[in-house]
Amino acid sequence: MLRNRKSMLKKPNVLVDTSFLLPALGFEIEPEAMGIIRFFRKVNIYYIEAGLMEAVWKILRHVKNNRELMIAKLGIESIRNTYTLVNPPSEAYIEAIKIYNQGHKDLIDSLHYATAKTLGLIWLTIDYDFIKFLRRHNYPVDGIIIDHREFRKLVTGT
């Protein structure tokens, strides 16, 4: 047991963007992002409740029957039982509001970014436009992984 715990502590800590929660809820995402998910066992995955809520909003218009509702329910339970919930600190909320006021009108994106930055987590996203926005406004983007090559390098070292 102690060996497993030690190896878990050595794994990188990664906060996932909403996109990476969608497959658990039965929703398809970009193939590039799906290729990253298979490496999740090699990192400690974190999520914020606002991201899970955003995922539910995204699938809401696609769920048509009880079978799809059951898939979503199992997915929510799986996320909660497999990933670690992290609460954004108050500083992250304030920074997210500042980013929003500078023109990025997706508060959940901003909250993911600010939470990862504040807590020292790696943030995994495929939102290239948001990264461009952050760079344009001189926000640091160190610790943000945006593609499968970077993620594979994180987990394998090559």
pLDDT for 76 beyond 50: yes
Q: Which pLDDT band, with edges at 50, 70 and 90, does 9 fall under?
A: low
Q: Provide the pLDDT for residue 1.
A: 42
Total structural domains within the chain: 1
**DSSP E strands: which ranges in the chain?**
13-16, 44-47, 84-85, 122-124, 144-145
Q: Provide the pLDDT for residue 5.
A: 52
Q: Provide the pLDDT for residue 123.
A: 96
Q: Which pLDDT band, with edges at 50, 70 and 90, does 3 fall under?
A: very low
pLDDT tens across 12-52, in order?
A: 999 999 999 999 988 888 888 888 998 999 999 999 999 99
pLDDT tens across 84-122, in order?
A: 999 999 999 999 999 999 999 999 999 999 999 999 999
pLDDT for 6 beyond 60: no
Q: Is 36 helix (H, G, I), strand (E, B) or coil?
A: helix
pLDDT tens across 136-146, in order?
A: 999 999 989 88
Distance CA 135, CA 38 (A): 29
Give residue 130's domain range: 2-156
**CA torsion, points 134, 138, 144, 150, in degrees to nearest 10?**
100
